[in-house]
């Protein structure tokens, strides 16, 4: 098991050193600095909260939290990018979201306190470099870096999966987005050069090497989504309705993870159409994810590409979480040199697509897909050439 003590350590870059100086200018002391990355999900979408399988990778965009203790019981939270400076009394923290970015930091503090862990007065300076609302998990990156920072103050050591769980709880209970465990888990445990096949029921995982010569190209539609708004939570409720129905037919069903394709098809006409579509996506997406992990391991990129294509279509037609811009971005990749597979990534309703592209074609791919997307939509997109990176850690 990976523990908090063997988290990643690496030297600071120029930007990160700048955060130290900025902190010292604002608060007058030297901080410790923690970093947590965002992620892309290669396949396994909307399966995590159904006890299913996902295959994400941590990427090079990170959120940084610089922290130093205070002598009083105040929590003072500033950011380099986000508006507003916040000050809270540790002994009277808000019980619910205040409706600002600091909710992710407060949520973590609030769960740590619920767990009976000691909290100390602190100054925090946040620098968020994960694009917001782009489906790259800026929220998980902020939660995880905050959790590392808070725990460092009191010398509390927690295993990384526990940190991931407490961050998810912060987002579920405090922020009110009923997300699964994927984003927080991969932000904690990511490994450079690897994707990550995670069983969201047992939390067992296996690193899957990304074949040499393959680049992760992330294309931002620039259409923002907001998971805390209703649609995501509605999908969850629809899945729960599906579980209740299948459990009547087969009492061994506790989550959609337990529904086989045979059982699913047997009841195609017994469920309301919308519920059946949602279940059908999840059941088949789990199978696709396992299949994709095998294909990536053996370097069968043609198969990975097919599975990503099916995943996107299923998210568009059955789960109904894509949007016109995501569909156009996926189409824009088709036929470009070096393209091996692509789909929407993350919660949906906007955000990014993930594309597997041969390294030697990646720059040209980035240019051409941006042109095609602009012709189709009039929108100037952002395209990021990414690789799989290590999970969260302290900078020294």
Contact 64, 16 (CB under 8 A): yes
3-class state of residue 392 by DSSP: coil
Q: Smallest distance, Å, CB 168 to ligand GLA?
A: 8
Burial 271-305 (b: 16+ CB within 10 A, else e): beeebbbbbbbbbbbbebbbbbbebbeeebbebbb
Q: Smallest distance, Å, CB 45 to ligand GLA?
A: 4
Give 227 or 283: the residue with its C-beta nearer to ligand GLA. Answer: 227
- Smallest Cα–Cα separation from 264: which of 291, 283, 288, 247? 283
Q: Smallest distance, Å, CB 345 to ligand GLA?
A: 8
Give 80 or 240: the residue with its C-beta nearer to ligand GLA. Answer: 240
Contact 37, 393 (CB under 8 A): no
Phi and psi (nearest 5°) for 208?
-115, 110
Contact 2, 160 (CB under 8 A): yes
Give 128 or 347: the residue with its C-beta nearer to ligand GLA. Answer: 347
The residues, any chain, with a CB within 8 Å of residue 352's CB and separated by 6 or more, are 40, 134, 135, 136, 218, 219, 220, 221, 344, 345, 346
Q: Which helix (H) or strand (E) segment is 6 a member of?
A: none
Phi and psi (nearest 5°) for 279?
-65, -40
Give 56 or 338: the residue with its C-beta nearer to ligand GLA. Answer: 56
Q: Smallest distance, Å, CB 72 to ligand GLA?
A: 35
d(CA 277, CA 271): 9
Q: Smallest distance, Å, CB 17 to ligand GLA?
A: 31
Q: Smallest distance, Å, CB 282 to ligand GLA?
A: 10
Contact 396, 232 (CB under 8 A): no
Give 110 or 289: the residue with its C-beta nearer to ligand GLA. Answer: 289
Please name every residue paired with 58 in a beta bridge, in sequence order, or none if there are none.
39
**Helix, strand and coil percent figures for the chain, each rounded to 5:** 45, 20, 35
Annotated catalytic residue 183 = yes
- Point out which residues bind ligand GLA (CB under 6 A): 45-46, 48-49, 137, 179-180, 182-183, 227, 346-347
Please name every residue paired with 64 in a beta bridge, in sequence order, or none if there are none.
35, 127
| DSSP code, position 192 | T
Q: Smallest distance, Å, CB 324 to ligand GLA?
A: 19
Give 45 or 103: the residue with its C-beta nearer to ligand GLA. Answer: 45
Q: Which of 20, 183, 258, 390 is catalytic?
A: 183
Give 198 or 245: the residue with its C-beta nearer to ligand GLA. Answer: 198
The catalytic residue positions are 183
């Amino acid at each position: 098991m990976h523990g908090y003590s063997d988290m990643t350590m690496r030297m600071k870059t120029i930007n990160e050193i700048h955060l130290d100086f900025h902190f010292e200018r604002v608060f007058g002391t030297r901080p410790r600095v923690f970093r947590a990355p965002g992620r892309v999900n290669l396949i396994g979408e909307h399966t995590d909260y159904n006890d299913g399988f996902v295959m994400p990778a941590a990427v090079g965009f990170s959120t940084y939290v610089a922290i130093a203790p205070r002598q009083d019981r105040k929590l003072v939270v500033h950011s380099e990018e986000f508006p507003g400076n916040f000050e809270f009394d540790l002994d009277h923290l808000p019980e619910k979201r205040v409706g600002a970015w600091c909710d992710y930091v407060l949520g973590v503090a609030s769960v740590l306190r619920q767990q009976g862990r000691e909290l100390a007065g602190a100054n925090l300076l946040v620098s968020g470099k994960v694009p917001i609302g782009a489906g790259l998990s800026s929220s998980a990156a902020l939660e995880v870096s905050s959790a590392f920072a808070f725990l460092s103050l009191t010398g509390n050591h927690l295993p990384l999966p526990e940190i991931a769980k407490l961050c998810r709880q912060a987002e579920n209970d405090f922020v009110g987005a009923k997300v699964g465990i994927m984003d927080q888990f991969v932000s904690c445990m990511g490994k450079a050069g690897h994707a990550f096949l995670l069983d969201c029921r047992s939390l067992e995982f296996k690193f899957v090497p990304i074949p040499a010569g393959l680049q992760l190209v992330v294309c931002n539609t620039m259409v923002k989504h907001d998971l805390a708004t209703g649609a995501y939570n509605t999908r969850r409720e629809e899945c729960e309705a599906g579980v209740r129905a299948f459990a009547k037919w087969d009492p061994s069903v506790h989550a959609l993870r337990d529904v086989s394709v045979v059982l699913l098809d047997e009841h195609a006409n017994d469920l309301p159409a919308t519920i059946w579509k949602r279940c059908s996506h999840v059941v088949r997406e789990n199978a696709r994810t396992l299949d994709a992990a095998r294909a990536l391991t053996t370097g069968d990129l043609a198969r990975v590409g097919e599975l990503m294509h099916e995943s996107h279509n299923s998210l568009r037609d059955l789960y109904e979480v894509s949007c016109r811009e995501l569909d156009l971005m996926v189409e824009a990749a088709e036929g470009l040199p070096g393209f091996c597979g692509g789909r929407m990534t993350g919660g949906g309703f906007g955000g990014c697509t993930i594309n597997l592209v041969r390294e030697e074609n990646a720059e040209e791919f980035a240019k051409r897909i941006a042109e095609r997307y602009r012709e189709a939509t009039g929108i100037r997109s952002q395209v990021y050439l990414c690789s799989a990176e290590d999970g969260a850690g302290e900078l020294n």
